A and B are shown apart, each in its own frame.
Chain A
Amino acid sequence: MTMQFRDLAAQAAADGAISAEEILSLRQSGWADGLIDPEEAEGLFIANGQVTRPSAEWTAFFVEALSTFVVNTVEPHGYVDQTMADELIARIDHHGRIGSLAELELVIRVLEIAQSVPANLKSYALSQIEDAVLTGEGSTRSGSLDPKGINDAECDLLRRAIFAPGGDRPAAVSRAEAEMLFRLKDATLYEVNAPAWENLFVRGVASYLLGFETAEPLSRERAAELEPL
């Protein structure tokens, strides 16, 4: 298993791509148990750095494997601890910006599947998403980013991040998120935006103002106490 993951980086370096067939093979044999170790996770990050033509299959595999690693490696499962959050940020940050859209997808996916993540990861994710919506280009799972205005794909990214269980305020909008929506609104007021943007802004800020929310998740410490039961 480890050899196959190690081979990824070399394969990516050789031709700048990892084919759909290679990913399928890895899913069937190397990743059959759905788990990777820290060394294999490092290999995925290195391979992603070498891939110059990331396919949808590669991005999906990268995000799925690493989000599972980040969220479920340390107990209690579903809770990202401070060490893991710091290591994730250190691995994907390049001079204050996320290095690739696959890594942006990874951060959003971690927020979506985690019960809770440390504050610095939430804050980092929020700033990177704001930057990507305003200046990003390229394809994401949600569609293509456009530096002009806010399109449907960018609305989808924002919605996923803001209402994620591991977000700043689970299934509701925090003050920091509402302020980000205002900054995005001001920056794109006279651009051509997707119709969904006005709806997201209105409902997002109203969610913060009116206090729509669901129950808070268990703290990481309390979840650890209950997990053996």
Chain B
Amino acid sequence: MTSEGQGIGTFLGRMMQTSAEESTSAAFGSLLDLSQPATDELPEPFGAKEPWLRDLIDADEDLDYMEKALLAFIAEETGAETSPT
């Protein structure tokens, strides 16, 4: 069982490492791979809302500066690492 911080850390780490030029789909890709039930690792309520966030961020296929600030804030609030270990 992955701890709450690790779950969010993995999610955010992938997001934060994605360059603005890359599609955010890549950042979420492995996370949402059905063979890896990664969303189960995310704590409620964030885990259930993660597809919602992905869809919004993915809408323009770009991770803009506001979205980066949002992810950094969530990482700070949850105490999660923003880079994978």
Q: Which residues of A contact B (CB under 8 A)?
A: 175, 179, 182, 185-186, 189, 198, 201-203, 205-206, 208-211
| Known A209-B46, A210-B46: A186·B60 in contact at CB below 8 Å | yes
| Known A175-B52, A179-B56, A206-B77: A211·B70 in contact at CB below 8 Å | no
Q: How far is the CA of A198 from the CA of B59 in the complex (A)?
A: 19
Q: Which residues of B contact A (CB under 8 A)?
A: 45-46, 49, 52-53, 56, 59-60, 64, 66, 69-70, 73-74, 77-78
- Chain B interface SS verdict (over half): helix
Q: How far is the CA of A179 from the CA of B49 in the complex (A)?
A: 12
- Report A-chain residues with C-beta under 8 Å of the C-beta of B46: 209-211
Q: How far is the CA of A211 from the CA of B66 in the complex (A)?
A: 20
Residue from the list B52, B59, B74 in contact with A210, Cβ < 8 A: B74
| Known A182-B56, A186-B60, A203-B73: A208·B49 in contact at CB below 8 Å | yes
Chain A nearest CB from B68 CB (Å) reads 10
Chain B nearest CB from A203 CB (Å) reads 7
- Chain A interface SS verdict (over half): helix
- Report B-chain residues with C-beta under 8 Å of the C-beta of A182: 56
Q: How far is the CA of A175 from the CA of B53 in the complex (A)?
A: 10
- 17 A-B pairs within 8 Å (CB atoms) are namely A185-B66, A186-B59, A186-B60, A189-B64, A202-B66, A202-B73, A203-B73, A206-B70, A206-B73, A206-B77, A208-B49, A209-B53, A209-B74, A210-B46, A210-B78, A211-B45, A211-B46
Chain B nearest CB from A175 CB (Å) reads 7
- Report A-chain residues with C-beta under 8 Å of the C-beta of B45: 209-211
B74 and A206: CB pair below 8 A? yes
Which B residue's beta carbon lies closest to that of A212? B77
Chain B nearest CB from A54 CB (Å) reads 34
Q: How far is the CA of A209 from the CA of B53 in the complex (A)?
A: 8
B74 and A198: CB pair below 8 A? no
B70 and A201: CB pair below 8 A? yes
Chain B nearest CB from A213 CB (Å) reads 10
